[in-house]
């Protein structure tokens, strides 16, 4: 809705430099097909590479407005939103959703419906709406969905915090999506990309070997870049400050530092005196405050 009305803050959120940032996909949420149609046109004109429709957010204020996960219970409206978006643009349209509202059995028919409406790829979080973020993500229904829809790119999401997690969980899927696992650990993205690339290369090599020479790919086979445990806190500090500087440059000091607080709290997790540092970092208002806590 905010893009449809040209809300300044929202337009600032989707600002990006097309010379530097690709692929760039804008995720939208709402419930009005006409608003989706007009917003999609704006997003395409900005130069985005794709549009993703959020049908999985479990936040109470989102669901109470019939956005996000609420659309799982309204497949007709969900399909209308996809159709309106796809009708408006030439760039790909995807959907991110969950296993279901309270029943996993609805996953396949729901996904079939939105694919028929024009969704070209799916990202599935391995929990139902009723689970919120409790318990472990269940990837088995996502694997089964891929078997039922082999022609559709399907990405798994939920509890990916390391390259080993990604290699273990990707299974028959086309990719993995990382969310909370990046907090305090942004380099995990590079580690995951390298690990999956190595995995794919090894699988290609195995297809060229004779049956007696073939071996299974395991997480031990994959050579990964140094993970978070091998990076000292002293090495993290310049990265933390660079992260803060980028946030401030992109969003201004007030908003940038507000958004950094959750990341700062994660960066110091497990360090001596973490509780005291975290208490000071979650009220930091400027980069100088962060430097003072980190003794820079």
**CA dihedral of residues 109, 44, 251, 177 (deg, nearest 10):** 30
Report the chain's C-alpha Rg in angstroms.
Answer: 21
The DSSP result for the chain, as a single string, is -TTTTT-HHHHHHT---TTT--S-EEEE--S-HHHHHHHHHHHHHHT-SEEEEEE----HHHHTTT-GGGGGG-HHHHHHHHHHHHHH-SS-EEEEEES-SS-GGGHHHHHHHHHHTT--EEEEESS-GGGTT-S----HHHHHHHHH-TTS-EEEESS--SHHHHHHH-TTSSEEE-SGGGTT-TTHHHHHHHHHHHHHHHHHHHHTS-TTT-----TTTS-----GGGS-HHHHHHHHHHHHHHHHHHH-HHHHHHHHHHHHHHHTTTSTTHHHHHHHHTT--SHHHHHHHHT-
Find, among 264, 271, 273, the residue nearest to 239 by Cα.
264
Out of 57, 66, 130, 295, pick the active-site residue. 57
**Annotated catalytic, 130?**
no
How long, in residues, is the chain? Answer: 296
Question: Which residues participate in catalysis according to the annotation?
Answer: 57
């Amino acid at each position: 809705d905010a893009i449809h009305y040209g809300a300044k803050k929202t337009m600032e959120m989707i600002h990006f430099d097309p010379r530097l940032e690709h692929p760039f996909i804008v995720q939208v949420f709402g419930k009005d097909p006409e608003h989706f149609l007009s917003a999609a046109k704006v997003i395409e004109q900005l130069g985005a590479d794709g549009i993703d429709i959020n049908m999985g957010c479990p936040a109470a204020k989102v669901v109470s407005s019939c956005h996000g996960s609420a659309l799982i219970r309204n497949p007709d409206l969900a399909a209308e939103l996809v159709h309106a978006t796809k009708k408006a643009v030439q760039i790909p349209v995807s959907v991110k959703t969950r296993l279901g509202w309270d029943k996993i059995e609805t996953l396949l028919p729901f996904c079939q419906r939105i694919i028929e409406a024009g969704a070209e790829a799916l990202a599935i979080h391995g929990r139902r709406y009723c689970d919120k973020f409790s318990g472990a993500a269940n990837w088995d229904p996502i694997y089964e969905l891929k078997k039922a829809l082999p022609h559709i790119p399907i990405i798994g999401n939920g509890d990916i915090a390391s390259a080993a997690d990604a290699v273990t969980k990707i299974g028959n899927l086309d990719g993995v999506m990382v969310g909370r696992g990046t907090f305090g650990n942004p380099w995990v993205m590079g580690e995951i990309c390298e690990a999956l690339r190595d995995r794919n290369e090894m699988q290609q090599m195995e297809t060229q070997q004779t049956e007696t020479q073939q071996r299974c790919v395991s997480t031990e086979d994959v050579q990964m870049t140094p993970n978070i445990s091998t990076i000292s806190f002293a090495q993290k500090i310049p990265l933390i400050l660079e992260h803060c500087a980028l946030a401030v440059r992109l969003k201004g000091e007030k908003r940038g530092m507000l958004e950094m607080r959750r990341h700062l709290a994660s960066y110091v997790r497990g360090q001596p005196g973490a509780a005291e540092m975290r208490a000071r970092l979650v009220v930091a208002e400027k980069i100088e405050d962060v430097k003072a806590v980190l003794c820079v």
